[in-house]
């Protein structure tokens, strides 16, 4: 690995710092490149697509510059392995900065709406991106875990979420596990979804982390930090689906973005995406909870 990094970065000296980590889809290590500390993720097969999406997500987060995140540096491949080099951050578990994270996530979710207002006034944020995003999606494929997300741009969030998120996971479960219960309940879920997202609901796309849970957050130097994003522009509530964040996080978030009518039922539909996604990652241990939630959502139509 040291020789490979020397070649890629034209370094005189590369040292391993023995800061190895292991994740679900990648492992990684900390290295000094001519005295500069970086973190290198590596993946044997699936890495290139995952890393391209993560790189684009981190770049967008850095352009907006609201929540601290590692700065991406370079993606490269050698043989059947892919590597993603990024800024090293000594991230600690999220403890004291939960409320601050809630505030900053809400600010991130509102940023695109602020751009829309400023664009109408022909103004800009100095030093930040000023391109208002009108649709739901993203310019590149991103991943939740190792599963690629269909980020084709769509005018309507309900259409995007039903087709590009839920239906994609349902199809994958049915294809892999041949589960008849999921297949039979999906048409009913489709009929229920429009009740959760009324057609008259005004929704401005928000930049999402995309895989926002406590394991992808932390704190450093007295401020919150996020990492491992799989971003897209979507409904802000989507980033709130996964536990276990403390109450101060939610209180701070909803002080800035209050819960809208129907929040709890939409929240269940977002949890369903993650249960199906984990079923597709880890197997039928998630089947019972996914099916139970599908039945609960189907009952909304009765």
pLDDT tens profile 139-172: 999 999 999 999 999 999 999 999 999 999 999 9
Total-model pTM: 0.93
pLDDT score for 48: 74
pLDDT tens per residue, range 164-211 = 999 999 999 999 999 999 999 999 999 999 999 876 567 899 999 999
What is the C-alpha separation between 153 and 272, in angstroms, rounded?
Answer: 22
* Separation between Cα atoms, residue 15 and residue 146, nearest integer Å: 29
Question: From the candidates 155, 179, 200, 211, which is the catalytic residue?
Answer: 211
Residue 10 annotated among the catalytic residues of the structure: no
Question: DSSP letter string over 89-116?
Answer: --PBPSSS-HHHHHHHHHHHHHHHHHHH
Half-sphere exposure of 85 (CA within 13 A, CB side): 18
pLDDT digits (tens, 9 = 90+) for 77-108: 888 889 999 999 999 999 999 999 999 999 99
């Amino acid at each position: 690995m040291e020789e490979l990094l020397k070649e890629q970065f034209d370094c005189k000296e590369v040292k391993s710092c023995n800061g190895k980590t292991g994740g679900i889809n990648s492992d990684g290590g900390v290295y000094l490149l001519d005295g500069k500390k970086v973190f290198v993720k590596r993946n044997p097969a699936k890495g290139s697509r995952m890393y391209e999406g993560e790189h684009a997500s981190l770049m967008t987060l850095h352009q907006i510059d609201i929540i601290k995140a590692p700065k991406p540096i370079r993606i490269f491949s050698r043989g059947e392995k892919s590597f993603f080099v990024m800024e090293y951050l000594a991230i600690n578990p999220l403890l004291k900065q939960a409320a601050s994270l809630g505030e900053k996530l809400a600010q991130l979710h509102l940023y695109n709406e602020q751009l829309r207002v400023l664009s109408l006034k022909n103004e800009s944020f100095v030093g930040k991106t000023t391109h208002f995003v009108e649709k739901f999606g993203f310019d590149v494929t991103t991943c939740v875990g190792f599963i690629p997300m269909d980020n084709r741009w769509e005018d309507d969030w309900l259409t995007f979420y039903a087709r590009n998120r839920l239906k994609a996971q349902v199809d994958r479960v049915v294809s892999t596990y041949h589960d008849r219960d999921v297949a039979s309940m999906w048409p009913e879920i489709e009929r229920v979804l429009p009740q959760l997202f009324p057609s008259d609901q005004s929704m401005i796309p928000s930049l999402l982390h995309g895989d926002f849970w406590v394991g992808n957050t932390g704190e450093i130097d007295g401020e919150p930090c996020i990492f491992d994003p799989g971003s897209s522009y979507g409904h802000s509530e989507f980033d709130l689906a996964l536990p276990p964040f403390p109450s101060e996080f939610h209180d701070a978030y909803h002080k800035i973005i209050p819960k809208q009518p129907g929040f709890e039922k939409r929240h269940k539909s977002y949890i369903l995406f993650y249960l199906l996604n984990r079923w597709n990652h880890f197997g039928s241990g998630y089947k019972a909870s996914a099916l139970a939630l599908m039945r609960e959502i189907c009952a909304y139509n009765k």
